[in-house]
């Protein structure tokens, strides 16, 4: 499963790209508004440091304006993915933009039917929001499993990009359910490596080695 960072902060992203484990980035208007940088400057910096897809979301609500914004965003860099909302206008924009050769991320997905429509519109990625479904009293992981089944039934190439991922258990469940990608807040990405038994085991190894009086270098 590929791991994306859900952030629009170039400095924050740069620190984690250095691990070599980041496959892409997703941004949205809310994340972009939190940074002090102009949107296009931030996206250019992110695209230069990230080897894979960088989702940049349109802010228009009509298909015509989404297409115009998407085409402008796509000029920033070759790895820009245009993100559109899962509305009728968003799907029409997706159909046009994907037909023109752009990669498109259809976001704010909450049902298998919506995911089916996005795939038929040519979406490169579908972004189901699992955490928000959990907040509303549903099991967000059910949606990942159902979309996986639908896409596999008909050999759709649209990749499932799990979004609104809240904790490490979500990440594990997404990987087990067959999500292609999970996009994670930086703090959650950092937490994936943590386990108390790893820390305890390493401390024991180091103490034993210290008592041996040996050195590798």
Measured from the Cβ of residue 30, the count of other Cβ atoms closer than 10 Å reads 9
- Catalytic-labelled residue, pool 83, 95, 200, 210: 83
What's the pLDDT at 32?
93
Known catalytic membership, residue 72: no
Statement: residue 41 has pLDDT above 90: yes
In this predicted model, what pLDDT tens digit does every residue of 42-98 receive, in sequence order? 999 999 999 899 999 999 999 999 999 999 999 999 999 999 999 999 999 999 999
What fold is seen in the domain 2-212? Answer: TIM Barrel (3.20.20)
Domain boundaries, given as residue ranges, for the chain: 2-212
In 33-158, beta strands by DSSP E: 54-57, 80-85, 104-109, 125-128
Measured between its terminal Cα atoms, the distance across the chain in Å is 37
Length of the chain, in residues: 217
Mean of pLDDT values over 194-211 = 96
Residues whose CB falls within 8 Å of the CB of residue 169, separated by 6 or more in sequence, listed in order: none
């Amino acid at each position: 499963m590929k791991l994306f960072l859900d952030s629009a902060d170039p400095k924050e992203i740069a620190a984690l790209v250095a691990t070599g484990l980041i496959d892409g980035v997703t941004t949205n208007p809310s994340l972009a508004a939190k940074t002090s940088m102009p949107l296009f400057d931030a996206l250019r910096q992110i695209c230069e440091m990230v080897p894979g897809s960088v989702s940049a979301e349109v802010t228009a609500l009509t298909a015509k304006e989404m297409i115009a914004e998407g085409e402008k965003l796509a000029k920033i860099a070759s790895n820009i993915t245009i993100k559109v909302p899962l509305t009728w206008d968003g799907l029409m924009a997706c159909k046009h933009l994907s037909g023109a050769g752009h990669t498109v991320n259809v976001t704010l997905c909450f049902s298998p039917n919506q995911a089916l429509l996005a795939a038929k519109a040519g979406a490169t990625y579908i972004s189901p929001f699992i955490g928000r479904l959990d907040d509303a009293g549903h099991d967000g992981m059910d949606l990942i499993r159902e979309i996986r089944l639908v896409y596999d039934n008909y050999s759709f190439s649209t990749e499932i990009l799990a979004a609104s991922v809240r904790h490490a258990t979500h990440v594990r469940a997404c990987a087990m359910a067959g999500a292609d990608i999970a996009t994670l807040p930086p703090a959650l990405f950092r937490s994936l490596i943590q386990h108390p038994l790893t820390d305890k085991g390493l401390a024991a190894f180091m103490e034993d080695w210290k008592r041996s009086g040996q050195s590798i270098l």
